[in-house]
């Protein structure tokens, strides 16, 4: 049991190693072919220029890859991120999830790197789940074959048997079909988008003067409507008179003799008035 567990740990370590080696090998420039006959000077210059461009692209790819790996290694492995990676592995590649569980107690550093890689893929693929389910399924299929191929490649490096090679070859063929299906899906989406763009181009190119005149007419109508609205809102305020001061109602006098008949009032010491008969 211990020997089998150590073999599983070695498999996952080799899996990560093969993933890095695969990226490095893809970026390396091809070796310059040997020529029997002496090539023409123009051919030598063109070939040298192509090799230099390939080397530059490979160097840029290595730099970008190293930068991405450095950024990925700086991402903290939180419990939520770890759980998301393990759930994704359990759902789409159960064997990888079992290997990760065995690796956790044996090599924490490689375990965290593996968790980061799986969690990154889960986030990248999961962004398409709601907005584009069809493409999401295609990406999941590609990831499944990629993950299984890494494990089989690790097994093949330990036991290069004919059976392992046959299984590895079958997985690679299936992954190629999945990649082709995803590319065809992207091509169909791009074709549909190009058709819509062509329709918009034809619409704008047909009768441009007429379209400009119609747009100017709409602008004039909008300005006229705004002017009428300002006039109507200002008119009621100009017709309203200014508010007048409140008037005090005076007592009416029926006869002038009544005023003479009334006794004069005296001022009270307090400041008020009182009648003549008041004590």
Which pLDDT score is estimated for 10?
54
Q: What percent of the chain has pLDDT over 70?
A: 61
**Per-residue pLDDT averaged across 164-169, rounded?**
93
Which residue matches tokens 């990831």? Answer: 143
Which residue matches tokens 């009032």? Answer: 265
- 70-123, pLDDT tens digit by residue? 666 667 788 999 999 999 999 999 999 988 888 887 888 888 888 999 999 999
Q: HSE (CB half, 13 Å, CA atoms) of 140?
A: 16
277: in domain: no
**Per-residue pLDDT averaged across 178-186, rounded?**
95
223: in domain: no
- At residue 132, φ and ψ (nearest 5 deg) are -150, 80
How many domains would you assign to the chain? 1
* Comparison of pLDDT for 231 and 17, the residue scoring more: 231
Which pLDDT score is estimated for 181?
95
Q: 88 lies in which domain range? A: 2-28+53-200
Q: What is the pTM of this model?
A: 0.56
Which pLDDT score is estimated for 233?
81
Which residue matches tokens 């065809």? Answer: 184
């Amino acid at each position: 049991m211990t020997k089998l567990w150590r073999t599983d740990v070695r498999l996952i370590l080799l899996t990560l190693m093969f993933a890095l080696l695969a990226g490095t090998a893809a970026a390396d420039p091809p070796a310059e072919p040997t020529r029997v006959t002496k090539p023409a000077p123009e051919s030598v210059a063109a070939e040298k220029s192509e090799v230099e461009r390939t080397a530059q692209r490979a160097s840029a790819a290595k730099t970008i890859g190293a930068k991405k790996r450095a950024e990925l290694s700086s991402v903290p492995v939180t419990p939520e991120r770890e759980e998301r990676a393990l759930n994704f592995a359990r759902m789409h590649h159960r064997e990888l999830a079992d290997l990760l569980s065995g690796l956790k107690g044996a090599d924490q550093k490689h375990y965290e790197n593996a968790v980061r890689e799986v969690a990154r893929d889960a986030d990248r693929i999961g962004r398409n789940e709601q907005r584009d389910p069809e493409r999401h399924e295609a990406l999941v299929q590609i990831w499944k074959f990629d993950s299984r191929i890494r494990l089989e490649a690790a097994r093949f490096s330990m036991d290069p048997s004919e059976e392992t090679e046959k299984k590895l070859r079958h997985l690679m063929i299936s992954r190629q079909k999945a990649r082709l299906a995803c590319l065809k899906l992207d091509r169909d989406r791009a074709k549909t988008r190009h058709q819509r763009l062509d329709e918009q181009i034809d619409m704008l190119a047909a009768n441009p003067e007429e379209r400009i005149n119609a747009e100017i007419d709409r602008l004039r109508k909008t300005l006229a409507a705004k002017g009428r609205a300002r006039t109507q809102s200002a008119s009621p305020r100009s017709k309203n008179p200014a508010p007048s001061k409140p008037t005090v109602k005076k007592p009416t006098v029926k006869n002038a003799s009544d005023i003479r008949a009334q006794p004069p009032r005296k001022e009270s010491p307090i400041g008020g008035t009182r009648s003549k008969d008041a004590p």
